[in-house]
Amino acid sequence: MAIEILPARLANQIAAGEVVERPASVVKELVENSIDAGATRIDIDIEKGGSKLIRVRDNGSGISKADLQLALSRHATSKIHCLDDLEAIMSLGFRGEALASVSSVSRLTITSRPAEQPEAWSAFAEGRDMAVNVKPAAHPVGCTVEVVDLFFNTPARRKFLRTDKTEFSHIDELLRRIALSRFDITINLRHNGTPIRQYRRVPDNGDPLRRLKAVCGQKFVDHALRIDLTHHDMALRGWICTPDGARQQNDMQHCFVNQRMMKDKLINHAIRQGYEQSLAHDQYAAFVLYIDVDPHQVDVNVHPAKHEVRFHQARLVHDFIYQAIYDGLQQSQSTIDNTVNPETGEVRETVSYQPRASAVATATPYQQAMDAFPDYPGKQQPPVCSHSGREPRPAHSSVPSKQATQAYQALMTPQQSEPNTISDPASSKVETSICSAPTKTANAQTGLGKVLSVVEQHYILMAWQEGVWLADYYALENWRHRGALQPALSEGLVTQPLLIPQRLSASSSECEFVSHYQALLGQFGIHLRVKGQQLMVMSVCQPLRQHNLQAFIPALLHFLSTLDPEQSHEDHSASLWSWLAKQLTVASDPVSLAQAVQTVSDIEQYWQSEALEQGRQRYFKRLDLTSVIEALQHD
């Protein structure tokens, strides 16, 4: 057959084969575009596992009318402009072909409005002829991309899609990873109209463990060690699990390079080697790690799906990661038993290691460790310079040698720093701490204090600063529930469908109240469906999952009947917020010390420092021990 130039339609579909593997591939490209656009909130709607609809809406910078049509062209991007940009990429996307590839196998609509543009415009492209139609639309500042009927014009590829449940699970897992990469972005996921995930953004001074717990679960947080290591232009931070938190499969391994999701062989080998002496052969490590390097020292343009990178100083990066993992696990084992209070779960101290890096011309401890440590498999040995005066490195081995281990231990041993020297600015720092509870230092400064005991079955005795304080447990419990329900006043609570919807009888007036306040109830994650003279409880928010709904729903209907229709929606929201918190606060004497510790810990996570201080003044009474101290002194 004669050689011919491929038609544009066929060429675009071949490009789509590289990018659009399944619906999760589309979601990845669109969400990464939203992140690159500076979005702080991203809403993803999925129907039928993504084969019917994928809608991604954000509040980012948007696309101007002049660029809408160009955005659907091959290799069109605003993220790089020259070869130098390609050598230092910090954005998630840069190839400029994702939208064109997606539109070639779907019906794609982009609706966008930049802040400086008074109106929004919409661009539509369909796989048949790739023609782009632009027309005016209504849209807030930001961008919405709708992908309808994925692979509608390529039935051979559509039949290889799995079930809706399987395809959606891939999307869910993808968004879990993205949620771990950017704690500062709110991500909401809905499937077939039902909210499935809500990852609320963590403020600048907020607790990152809230997002970590939402994605990885409580068990991960309970066994997590905080890692924070820096050296020159490299930084490694995040959490690794102790051997007690090991898993039977590698489903809790998340690594990010410059906030980009990675499945890199070099990184995985370094982490696996760091765990080698801590885990059994049938156990897998669990970790969430963030590697930050100079963008000029890493090449992200080596994999079609951008899952792998190439480091210019691969040996240094490998051993840098190994150092943090291995030393953190080894040295934390001697501090865990001594630092965790077995009765309250409180961490009493944080262990810090600050090795000093020398500034002289001789080999530094870090370099000595690098030289002594074996290469990772497949790494070519660099030639030894005859004038360097250094011995050739040992032969390759998959197990650290005794010399390597000693070098790393010497490197991480705290040293006495000398005043008025210039050798310390390049020092590294490793911090290891248990993440299961706030530290003593944190409690003393920004928290509510340390729980000492439970008095008279429901009064909490606490120590804070130099005083002793007393609080009513039920008042604190109500405060905790108000904190758990607080997101309903801004972003709304995530609703959780009931496995079997509950059917309740209701009067016509009660049904009218439910219909009238559907938006208010939905804000709190409560979905009631009216069917004649009956109500179907379809879903509720997480705090109500264990509640007695047979008694709760009639009480809720009575509360709705007491609302003043003249009041605003915000007033109704505040009233329902307070009422729900009271419903969730149930008396349960006697109160255990563990309950008290958990309640105080939850309050510190739900509320910011200013609200905590206001709550202290409202709920806590300081005990005057002057007379007692004087009596003891006279004795």
**Tens of pLDDT, residues 350-404:** 333 333 222 223 343 434 443 444 433 333 333 333 333 333 333 333 344 445 4
Q: Which two tokens stand for residue 617?
A: 């003044």
Banded pLDDT at 6 (limits 50, 70, 90)? low
Contacts 24+ apart (CB under 8 A), 273-277: 273/322, 273/325, 273/326, 273/376, 273/398, 273/400, 274/321, 274/322, 274/324, 274/325, 274/326, 274/329, 275/325, 275/329, 276/399, 277/326, 277/330
204, HSE (Cβ side, Cα atoms, 13 Å): 0
Q: Rg of the chain's alpha carbons, rounded to an integer?
A: 29
C-alpha to C-alpha distance for 369 and 402, rounded to whole angstroms: 11
Q: Which two tokens stand for residue 151?
A: 């692979």
Average pLDDT over residues 448-469: 85
Widest CA span of the chain, in angstroms? 110
C-alpha to C-alpha distance for 461 and 289, rounded to whole angstroms: 38
C-alpha to C-alpha distance for 392 and 372, rounded to whole angstroms: 10
Query: How many other C-beta atoms lie within 10 A of the C-beta of residue 471?
Result: 25
pLDDT, tens digit, 9 for 90 and up, residues 567-594: 888 888 899 989 999 888 876 668 888 7
pLDDT, tens digit, 9 for 90 and up, residues 239-257: 999 988 899 888 899 999 9
Q: Residue 430: pLDDT above 50?
A: no
Q: Residue 418: pLDDT above 90?
A: no
pLDDT, tens digit, 9 for 90 and up, residues 307-341: 667 887 888 888 889 888 988 887 666 544 444 44
- Degrees (nearest 5) of the Cα angle 400, 401, 404? 85
Is 77 exposed, middle or buried, given 0-12, 13-18 or 19+ CB atoms closer than 10 A? buried
Range in 131-145, 317-331, 415-429 the model is least confident about: 415-429
620-622/260-262 β-pairing:
unpaired
Q: What whole-number percentage of the chain has pLDDT above 70?
A: 72
Range in 24-28, 187-191, 614-618 the model is least confident about: 614-618
* Contact in structure between 212 and 224 (CB atoms under 8 Å): yes
Spell out the residues 6+ positions from residue 111 whose beta carbon is closer than 8 angstroms to its own: 120, 121, 122, 123, 137, 139, 143, 144, 146
- Degrees (nearest 5) of the Cα angle 224, 226, 232? 150
C-alpha to C-alpha distance for 389 and 379, rounded to whole angstroms: 23
Spell out the residues 6+ positions from residue 19 whose beta carbon is closer than 8 angstroms to its own: 25, 29, 97, 98, 101, 102, 304, 305
Banded pLDDT at 19 (limits 50, 70, 90)? low
| Amino acid at the residue 201 | R
- Degrees (nearest 5) of the Cα angle 246, 254, 327? 60
Banded pLDDT at 85 (limits 50, 70, 90)? low
Average pLDDT, the chain: 76
Q: What whole-number percentage of the chain has pLDDT above 90?
A: 23
Q: Residue 414: pLDDT above 60?
A: no
C-alpha to C-alpha distance for 81 and 69, rounded to whole angstroms: 18
Average pLDDT over residues 501-523: 86
Which of the 8 DSSP states describes residue 486?
Answer: G
Q: Which two tokens stand for residue 169?
A: 């699970």
* Contact in structure between 576 and 484 (CB atoms under 8 Å): no
**Residue 352: C-alpha distances to residues 218, 327, 337, 349, 432 (Å):** 25, 12, 16, 10, 7
C-alpha to C-alpha distance for 191 and 44, rounded to whole angstroms: 9
Q: What is the pLDDT of residue 437?
A: 37
C-alpha to C-alpha distance for 518 and 527, rounded to whole angstroms: 8
Closest CA to 174 of 32, 17, 285, 300: 32
41-47/234-241 β-pairing:
unpaired
In the numeric block, the tokens 């849209």 are attached to 139
Which of the 8 DSSP states describes residue 247?
Answer: B
DSSP strands (E only) in 519-576: 527-531, 534-541
Report the SS3 class of residue 408. Answer: helix
Burial pattern 472-481, b for ≥16 Cβ within 10 A else e, equals: ebbbbbbbbb
Report the SS3 class of residue 89. Answer: coil
Q: What is the pLDDT of residue 169?
A: 95
53-58/41-47 β-pairing:
antiparallel
Q: What is the pLDDT of residue 299?
A: 76
Q: What is the pLDDT of residue 281?
A: 83
C-alpha to C-alpha distance for 286 and 223, rounded to whole angstroms: 10
Q: Residue 348: pLDDT above 60?
A: no
pLDDT, tens digit, 9 for 90 and up, residues 52-74: 999 999 999 999 998 888 888 77
**Residue 564: C-alpha distances to residues 130, 195, 514, 520 (Å):** 55, 29, 15, 14
Spell out the residues 6+ positions from residue 4 whose beta carbon is closer than 8 angstroms to its own: none
Spell out the residues 6+ positions from residue 243 whose beta carbon is closer than 8 angstroms to its own: 278, 279, 283, 329
pLDDT, tens digit, 9 for 90 and up, residues 86-129: 566 666 765 567 788 888 889 999 999 999 999 999 999 886 56
| Amino acid at the residue 469 | W
